[in-house]
Homo-oligomer: A and B are copies of this chain.
Amino acid sequence: MRTTIREVAREAGVSPSTVSRALSMPGLVNPVTRERVLRAAKRLGYEPNRAARGLITGRTGNLGLIVPDLANPFFPSLVKGVQARAREADYAVFLADSDEDPAAESDLVRVLAKQVDGLILCSPRGREEDILTLAATTTLVMVNRRFGRVPSVVFDNSDGIRQAVAHLAALGHTRVAWVGGPRTSWSNRDRIRALRSATDAAGMDLYVAGHFPPQFEGGIAAADLIIASGVTSVIAYNDVMALGLLGRLRDRGLRVPQDISVIGIDDIQMSSMSSPTLTTVSLTKGQAGRAAVDLLLSLLEQPDGVRKPRRELPTQLLVRASTGVAPTD
């Protein structure tokens, strides 16, 4: 049986109210009594029952985190960041994986929303209206997507991509291809927009190779188009796809980076282990998780008073072995 507040009260020779106050609003209680209460609590190993507290305060002390696919190495890092920051703030985290299924996602959200104080949502493709409805009833922060007045944490894709393009230009490349992710993904749209303006500014030719699933297979599927297009460099929607690309390019007999340079986005662990190691736009995924929690918590404290409910995190090009000077033909 767990010890309750009454037992602590009895042990300390005070009333339950005093125990409650001693624990959660010190200063309202005489230092001497408080000390006595605290000692009694420790002696009995007392931990307040969160359900009971939540029942009356209306807060659960829990956060919800919804990701589309934990198998995508981008997300574990994010989750770790969320985890760590939430723990520091004494919140526990409910994790749900929607398996890339928007329908499952809204179910999840509905169930989860009741049990948490706030929600962190990575839903690159969920319908905007669904999200707006949700935002109206729950405190929520979106990650990797931005629209309307919904609080969000995103990466500065433009800057990272600008760096990538500058890098390629410096290496003498004039033709670059884009291997696109899902058509409906916000990041994908954001990134290609950034890429367009960067290549325009640099006077480079851009070849866009449609939309592919954001997985290894997507990169494989794109490779032959890329080869046929005759570009000397390619930027992929994410690292996993870039790795797929790398594999298929090699199978087709091309050498990276001598024949073609490849850049990814994300900086997942594996990208420093591939051969060649992958040049990539590094995203601070853990920080994004922490930032999302921070934003969420401040939103919870002052529902309207948050001056800037949008955070944009810096990105950084990481040059590794998959990019080199453009082939001279």
Contact = CB atoms under 8 A, between A and B. Distances in A.
Name, among A52, A71, A99, the residue most crowded by chain B CB atoms within 10 Å (CB to CB). Answer: A71
Interface in A97-116: 97, 99, 108, 111-112, 114-115
A325 interface: no
A51 interface: yes
A314 interface: no
B96 A47 contact: no
Contact of A73 (B73, B79, B83, B112): B73
A214 B114 CA distance: 39
A76 B70 contact: yes
Contacts of A115: 50, 92
A269 interface: yes
Contacts of A50: 51, 114-115
A79 B80 CA distance: 13
B76 A71 contact: yes
Interface residues on A, range: 35 or more
A76 B80 CA distance: 12
Contacts of A95: 79, 83, 93-95
What number of copies of this chain does the assembly contain?
A: 2
A77 B76 CA distance: 11
Contact of A269 (B60, B71, B93): B71
A59 to B, nearest CB: 10
Nearest to A251: B275
A75 B70 CA distance: 9
24 contacts: A2-B114, A50-B51, A50-B114, A51-B60, A52-B55, A55-B55, A70-B79, A71-B80, A75-B76, A79-B97, A80-B97, A80-B99, A83-B95, A83-B96, A83-B97, A84-B97, A92-B94, A92-B96, A92-B112, A92-B115, A93-B96, A94-B94, A216-B269, A270-B270
Given A51-B54, A52-B55, A244-B273, 14 more contacts: A49-B114, A51-B51, A51-B52, A55-B55, A62-B94, A71-B76, A80-B97, A80-B99, A83-B95, A92-B96, A92-B112, A94-B95, A247-B273, A270-B270
